[in-house]
Structure 1
Amino acid sequence: MELRHLRYFVALAEELHFTRAAERLHIEQPPLSRAIKELEDELGVLLFDRDRRGTRLTAAGTAFLQDTRRLFTVLEQARENAKAVAAGSRGSLRIAVSDGAIDPWLSDFLASCRAEEPDIEIRLSEVPLSEQLRGLRAGDFTLGFAHTAEVGEGIVAEPIWQDPLVIAVPVRHELLAHKAVPLHELGGHPLVLCDPQVCEGYCRELARLLLLLEREPNVVEHVSSLEMMLTLVSAGFGVGFTTATRVAVSPRPDVLTRPLAVDSAVITTYLLRLGGGDDVPASLERFIVRLRDLVRLRENLGG
């Protein structure tokens, strides 16, 4: 199997049309067809279904496309790292973020890290939790942030900071009568929650809290962003959950918040990294030490 085969495969998988894929690759169609046939023969599976209706990926082709894209990502990172070292850089930190686990002060922290060590490249990627965990194990990412410690073997999950959960409700809502909303009061209200496929770790933690309800939660909508949740809450679709920090960044005059009257109503952000190795890069060690020091300082100053 050659990289040429994989490049041809990705082009065809994205175009789903042999002529367009060949034009994109600046080759004739017959060499493309031969390369795909060679790749399928070597793998022992069909990657594409081809009939009068067109060209479609098979289930095996879809899975192979995901892995091939990750392979090209790793190759691109290797190329950039080699160029960075040749240019005098001492390496890079590749950080994955899942579950929307970004605190506003984190941008200032990253800026200070870049200022203190400009020859260490810091790159951020926002990815689903499952992709972050795969990337950490495969070496695609150096470390990550997520809202869950359920990360499986081989990954270290270190709690970094906590943020109180709050309920988002439209103005003039009956729950606003409470300074802190008792959890059982939510049982009769429709809920607008984050899509578990987008915020997997966050939803796991929220599900634990909702288990304390006496009845099954009435989830009416799943959304992929804070902005959509606030929009639906404002429109009266239901009430939503967010954190005090995130809602402060995106205030809405038509949505108000109340804390929950539950001590466990907090969302923890975890720093994830590959465990089991003694040879930790010095740049990673310094990054983690700086982060811990900043968190302790914030805690001492009251947030």
Structure 2
Amino acid sequence: MPPPSLEIRELRAFVAVAEELSFVGAAKRLNVAQPALSRTISAIEAKLGVQLLDRTTRSARLTQAGTVFLLEARHTLSQMKRTVQLTLEAEVGLIGELRVGYMDFAIYGPMIAILAELKRTHPLLKLTMKNERSDDQSTDLAANRLDIGFAVRHRFRDDVEVTTLTREPLVLVMSESHRLAGLESISLHDLAKEPFVLGDRQGWELFLPTVEAFCGTAGFMPKTVLDAQEGAPLFKMVAAGIGVTVYPSCIRTAGYPGLVIKDFLEDAPVVETYFLTRRTGRSTLVSDVVAFVHGLLSEGRPVTDD
């Protein structure tokens, strides 16, 4: 048996009564007659076959079922409002909303340049940004919760299309007051006894082993004195002299004050960053954006390859 059908006006009526907890107050708010409002609520309850409100002569109180219905009714009305808004925006030229996933490395790489160029050529496009791990981006892309992503190497899903953005060697990042700051380049062996500021193991799940393996070639494991979940506090701690860190060379574009960035004398591992999207099920908007990004990448304009 199909579920009962409810109208938007009925949802609005119930939300008003539930928020006012008074038929008189809700009727004034909706500018309708109180008897008509009471009949609307009774009709909803009859359709659902449940009691949503305990009524008295002066007030109303939500039942447990009514509390659940209120939450869902609010959500439905919010989604309806969003649907109407996006439709009207599309009519005047705002071609849609692009949901973008990114991780910290992407902030300092080509993502900003790509999105800035996209906004320049599509000024009415709305961007919604979500900071999350690379593997979570894959999951959200597959579930249609994201449209595109900017990620590092991870366990890519088969239903996610992967395009290489950059290939960047690791560099050393330290305070400008560090004892090694005056050297032209740094040997990895010089860091054996240095304190390190690194990302936490969950956030740097695949990158951290690369750093540890690199240090292992010089016979030591990094002595981590501080784990940071985000890039900004990590680099501020390094600038404050808490320790050094190792990062892809895109950090040169970040412009954090108080930092010195040095190349290694040894051949440093190369870290790749990627542009992600779904292989199938793209909207026309997302397909156009993906083609636009691939065009930029083929020209090499926003991408650097140290």
| Band of TM-score, shorter chain | 0.5 to 0.7
Partner of 2:11: none
Quick one: structure 1 residues 275 and 182, their matched pair in 2 at CA, closer, same or farther if it must change by over 3 Å?
Answer: farther
Q: Distance in 2 between matches of 1:77 and 1:195?
A: 37
Give matches, 1:251-290, under 5 Å. Answer: 251-253=256-258, 255-276=259-280, 281-290=286-295
Give matches, 1:108-123, under 5 Å. Answer: 108-118=113-123, 121-123=125-127
Is the counterpart of residue 26 in structure 1 residue 7 in structure 2? no
Instruction: State whether residues 188 and 266 of structure 2, in contact with CA within 8 Å, keep that contact through their aligned partners in structure 1.
Output: yes
Q: Give the partner amino acid of 1:96.
A: G
Q: Which structure is larger by alpha-carbon Rg, 1 or 2? A: 2
User: Aligned with 1:211: secondary structure?
Assistant: helix
Q: Distance in 2 between matches of 1:284 and 1:291?
A: 11
Q: Distance in 1 between matches of 2:228 and 2:78?
A: 28
Q: Distance in 2 between matches of 1:290 and 1:37?
A: 48
Is the counterpart of residue 167 in structure 1 residue 198 in structure 2? no
272-281 vs 260-269, which moves further: 272-281
2:157 maps to which of 130, 152, 156: 152
Q: Distance in 2 between matches of 1:182 and 1:276?
A: 46
| Shift of residue 269, structure 1, vs aligned partner | 1.7
Instruction: State whether residues 74 and 140 of structure 1, in contact with CA within 8 Å, keep that contact through their aligned partners in structure 2.
Output: no
| Shift of residue 220, structure 1, vs aligned partner | 1.1
1:207 maps to which of 209, 212, 219: 209
Quick one: structure 1 residues 187 and 126, their matched pair in 2 at CA, closer, same or farther if it must change by over 3 Å?
Answer: farther
Quick one: structure 1 residues 208 and 261, their matched pair in 2 at CA, closer, same or farther if it must change by over 3 Å?
Answer: same
Q: Distance in 2 between matches of 1:166 and 1:237?
A: 18
User: Aligned with 2:104: secondary structure?
Assistant: coil
Q: Distance in 1 between matches of 2:89 and 2:175?
A: 50
Over residues 38-91 of structure 1, what are the superposed CA-to-partner deviations in whole Å (9 max), with x where a residue is unaligned?
89xxxxxxxxxxxxxxxxxxxxxxxxxxxxx9x999888755543333444443
Is the counterpart of residue 295 in structure 1 residue 300 in structure 2? yes
Q: Distance in 2 between matches of 1:163 and 1:76?
A: 44
Percent identity reads: 19
Partner of 2:87: 82
| Shift of residue 104, structure 1, vs aligned partner | 6.5
Aligned residues, how many? 247
TM-score (norm 1): 0.64
Quick one: structure 1 residues 73 and 191, their matched pair in 2 at CA, closer, same or farther if it must change by over 3 Å?
Answer: farther
Unmatched 5+ residue regions in structure 2? 7-14, 22-59
Is the counterpart of residue 95 in structure 1 residue 100 in structure 2? yes
Instruction: State whether residues 92 and 123 of structure 1, in contact with CA within 8 Å, keep that contact through their aligned partners in structure 2.
Output: yes
Over residues 208-245 of structure 1, what are the superposed CA-to-partner deviations in whole Å (9 max), with x where a residue is unaligned?
23123133331110123434223322443221223443
RMSD: 4.0
1:128 maps to which of 122, 129, 132: 132
| Shift of residue 114, structure 1, vs aligned partner | 2.8
